[in-house]
Amino acid sequence: MAIASPTRNRGHARWATWRRRAYVPVMLAPVVLTLGVLFFGSLLVALLQSFGHAPIYGITEFPTLKHYRSLFALPGFWASVGLTFYYAIVPTIVGTIASLYLALTLRRRFRGRRFVQFVYKLPLMIPYLVGVALTIVLFGNGGIAARTLFALGVIDSTGDFPRLIYSHAGWGVMFVYLWKQIPFTTLILYSVLMGLGKESEEAAVTLGAGRWQTFWHVTLPQIMPGVVSATIIVFAFNFGSFEVPFILGGGFPNTLPVEAWRAFDDADYSKRLRAMAIVMFIGVLSSAVLITYLAAYRRFERLRGRQ
Amino acid sequence: MTRLRLDGLGKRFGDVDAVKDLDLDVAEGSLVALLGPSGCGKTTTLRMIAGLESPTEGDILFDEESVLATPPEKRGIGMVFQRYVLFPHMSVAKNVSFGLRMRGVDRAEIDRRVAEVLEVVQLTGFGQRFPSQLSGGQQQRVAIARTVITEPRLMLMDEPLSNLDAKLREEMRAFITRLQRQLGITTVFVTHDQVEAIELADRIGVMFDGELVQVGTPEEIFNRPRTLRVADFMGTTNLIRGRLADVGAAGATLVTDVGAIRVAPADHLRTGAEATATVRPEHIDLLPRDDATGLPGRIVESVYYGGTLAYRVALGDLVLQVRDRSTRRFGDGEEVSVRIAPHHVWVFPEA
């Protein structure tokens, strides 16, 4: 029979402690490394290029702010910033309100509820570009809507159809966003509502609260975490979205992501550094908005006693 | 104070009758407990009274006026739920004042009434806390405070004590009884716990399978159950079968295989009828064998329950359960005399 020596026992204990401590970092390493290289690595490259470090294009001006200065001096730049916020904020707010209504309705018992629950999720499975194509087919000047109105005699020619796409009002852009994002937000809010149950609303009703009072004072505050999560994701996507405003937008001034693409795609490679400056600017603006939004929400939650 | 009357109330979910033809009269200021096992329809009945479910048949009347067309928020009821259902994002004071705020009562009046009602539920000084910072008992008291502050016509309680531990449940029972007497609010209390119903209620309605099978005072339900099922649900009991003889003004005799047992007079007793009688274990006296006033028996088993001795006593083939609070103690196998007072023997009017 072997007798374990105290030295050997200490060695085993040290190895066990090391294994226990290393377990989590080792398990996380593949994800952390991939994310680190892909996200922080490319972010660092973009940052360095925006400050003039781009040896692959033969540019080594680092450090310089000239690409940022050229950006702010661009004609229509601030209009682009405004347009980017407009396309990001309006569909986020409209989509959240519509999703709230839809999620609350889906909680009720009605004939055909299961069918509606299936159908509303369909856009989630279809790419944005298909939505863009659908919008053109539906709302273009020669589209289905224009032809139908013309056939009904509402308009004299399909050319009289209001300009819903390729305009700065952005109806087409926002239609695509809402078509895709209402199902997404509804899915989140519906899950939160199902988790919440109906008891607190029933308690409110038995205490004399009407439907609107119950929603405003009881339901909404309790599903706020879901609303905040959904709006953050949707806003961040809309703010950085490129393909939808690129195809359906009204041209100059473009949104910031479209401007970044145009600069990046220019025959003059030095403009790629300006593209990186725009990318960094988009990141800073979007982060500032989301951090402010989250800080305001945390303050609101603290006032309600949540930590 | 409001009188509640349920008239032929029914609720059908698809092919299932959750509540069937239910008639119940709750007097002004009284507390009625709806007692029954899970799924018997008692909560559905309560939800129909609250307006959270619509009946498929019958009527609900507050002071003889139908409230079927009145939405729940206008019925003037207060409901206390099993899981408290406090609003987690509101402080205790905000929870308690919710009903008043929804009615647009002015701020000073709200503050005064919140302070008053928190004192009644012994939670003065807890106003700024949040529900997550309270114990189960405190949360349930806040739920009750939130209900009574609106001075409801009717208070509905849906198993409000079932999430509390045994000691707290006892304290809360006493608290609810005191509060209900003090405020005099007509109350319907739903429970599956017969002890709770007996302690709290002025009257108990026992429900099985969507039907109200017996309504009466706790004493009536406990000692004079209409059916075997009610007797069984109200706690451990002994069933003795026999034939009735000598029915008269002084009572009757139940002739059994183990001897004759005297029964107190009752209208439904008929000479010669086969009958089943019930006797509660605590209503049977055990005496030493030399006492000739009882039936001869033998102790099969005895268990001590702290202050009470539980016996199983054999009388021939019949085994009776007996609870004895006396200081006397009989050992296993000991011969005893079993005495049952006639007024504790109840013959079921229905088999």
Q: How far apart are CA A124 and CA A187, in angstroms?
A: 10
Chain B hits for A222, Cβ within 8 Å: 87-89
User: Domain end: B232, B255, B288, which one?
Assistant: B232
Q: Are residues B128 and B156 in the same domain?
A: yes
Q: Are residues B216 and B305 in the same domain?
A: no
Q: Which residues contact A105 (CB under 8 A, 6 or more apart)?
A: none
Let me know: does B44 contact B56? Beta carbons within 8 Å.
no
What percent of chain A clears pLDDT 90, i.e. is strictly above it? 80
Q: Which of A192, A196, A206, A307 to mutate to test the interface with B (most CBs of B within 10 A)?
A: A206
Segment A237-263, tens digit of pLDDT: 999 999 999 999 988 889 999 999 999
- Span A99-128, average pLDDT: 94
Task: Please state, as a whole number, how many other Cβ atoms lie within 10 Å of the Cβ of residue B316.
Answer: 13
Q: Which residue of B has its CA nearest to A301?
A: B89
User: Domain end: B212, B232, B252, which one?
Assistant: B232
Looking up tokens 């109330």 gives: B9
Q: Are residues B68 and B183 in the same domain?
A: yes
- Span A49-58, average pLDDT: 93
- 3 state DSSP class of B213: strand
Tell me if chain B has a CB within 8 Å of the CB of A16.
no
Let me know: does B6 contact B22? Beta carbons within 8 Å.
yes
**3-state secondary structure labels for all residues of chain A:** CCCCCHHHHHHHHHHHHHHHHHHHHHHHHHHHHHHHHHHHHHHHHHHHHHCCEEHHHCEECCCCCHHHHHHHCCCCHHHHHHHHHHHHHHHHHHHHHHHHHHHHHHCCCCCCHHHHHHHCCHHHHCCHHHHHHHHHHHHCCCCHHHHHHHHCCCCCCHHHCCCCCCCCCCHHHHHHHHHHHHHHHHHHHHHHHHHHCCHHHHHHHHCCCCHHHHHHHHHHHHHHHHHHHHHHHHHHHHHHCCHHHHHHCCCCCCCHHHHHHHHHCCCCCCHHHHHHHHHHHHHHHHHHHHHHHHHHHHHHHHHCCCC
What is the model's pLDDT at position B292?
76
- Span A171-192, average pLDDT: 96
Let me know: does A180 contact A131? Beta carbons within 8 Å.
yes
pLDDT band at A197 (very low <50, low <70, confident <90, very high): very high
**Lowest model confidence (mean pLDDT) among A176-185, A188-197, A217-226, A293-302:** A293-302
What is the model's pLDDT at position B218?
96
Tell me if chain B has a CB within 8 Å of the CB of A220.
no
Residue B253 sits in a domain whose CATH number is: 2.40.50.140
User: Domain end: B174, B205, B232, which one?
Assistant: B232
Domains of chain A: 22-76+256-307 (no CATH), 79-251 (1.10.3720.10)
* Token pair listed for B3: 């009188």
Let me know: does B177 contact B153? Beta carbons within 8 Å.
no
Model-level pTM?
0.81
Q: Are residues B148 and B47 in the same domain?
A: yes
**Which amino acid, one-letter code, is at A104?**
L
Q: Are residues B206 and B266 in the same domain?
A: no
Q: Which residue of B has its CA nearest to A211?
A: B73
- 3 state DSSP class of B286: strand
Please, what is the angle between helix A271-303 and helix A256-264, to 10°? 160
Please, what is the angle between helix B136-148 and helix B92-102, to 10°? 20
Q: Are residues B228 and B245 in the same domain?
A: no
Q: Are residues B132 and B219 in the same domain?
A: yes
Residue B124 sits in a domain whose CATH number is: 3.40.50.300
- Alpha carbon of B45: minimum distance to chain A alpha carbons (Å): 15
* Pairing of β B284-288 and β B335-340: antiparallel
The DSSP code for B100 is: H
Q: Are residues B216 and B258 in the same domain?
A: no
**Which amino acid, one-letter code, is at A228?**
V
What is the model's pLDDT at position B185?
93
**Whose CA is closest to A144, among A121, A164, A173?**
A164
Q: Which of B89, B103, B155 to mutate to test the interface with A (most CBs of A within 10 A)?
A: B89
Looking up tokens 């319907």 gives: B188
Residues 247 to 286 of B: which have CB under 8 A from any A CB? Answer: none
What is the model's pLDDT at position B269?
92
CA angle A256, A257, A260 (to 5 degrees): 85
| Residue B56 backbone dihedrals phi, psi, to 5 degrees | -95, -15
Tell me if chain B has a CB within 8 Å of the CB of A217.
yes
Size of interface A-B (CB pairs under 8 A): 71
* Token pair listed for A186: 């509804």
What is the model's pLDDT at position A190?
97
Chain A hits for B74, Cβ within 8 Å: 208
Segment B105-127, tens digit of pLDDT: 999 999 999 999 999 888 999 99
Question: Hey, are the CB atoms on A209 and B89 less than 8 Å from each other?
Answer: no
Low pLDDT (below 70) residues in chain B: 350-351
Residue ranges of the alpha helices (H) in B184-217? Answer: 194-200
Q: Are residues B179 and B301 in the same domain?
A: no
Q: Are residues B265 and B165 in the same domain?
A: no
* Beta-strand runs (E) in B305-345: 309-315, 318-324, 335-340
What is the model's pLDDT at position A48?
96
Chain B hits for A225, Cβ within 8 Å: none
What is the model's pLDDT at position A3?
57
Q: Which residue of B has its CA nearest to A219?
A: B87
* Pairing of β B65-66 and β B259-263: unpaired
Query: Total domain count for chain B?
Result: 2
- 3 state DSSP class of B200: helix
Let me know: does A214 contact A204? Beta carbons within 8 Å.
yes
Q: Are residues B14 and B88 in the same domain?
A: yes
Domain interval for residue B103 = 4-232
Nearest CB to A208 within list B52, B88, B99 = B99
With residue B233 as reference, give the H or E element that holds it.
Answer: helix B228-233
Q: How far apart are CA B262 and CA B351, in angstroms?
A: 19
Q: Are residues B192 and B66 in the same domain?
A: yes
* Pairing of β B154-158 and β B77-80: parallel
| Residue B239 backbone dihedrals phi, psi, to 5 degrees | -110, 130
More confident call, B170 vs A93? A93
Chain B hits for A210, Cβ within 8 Å: 73, 102
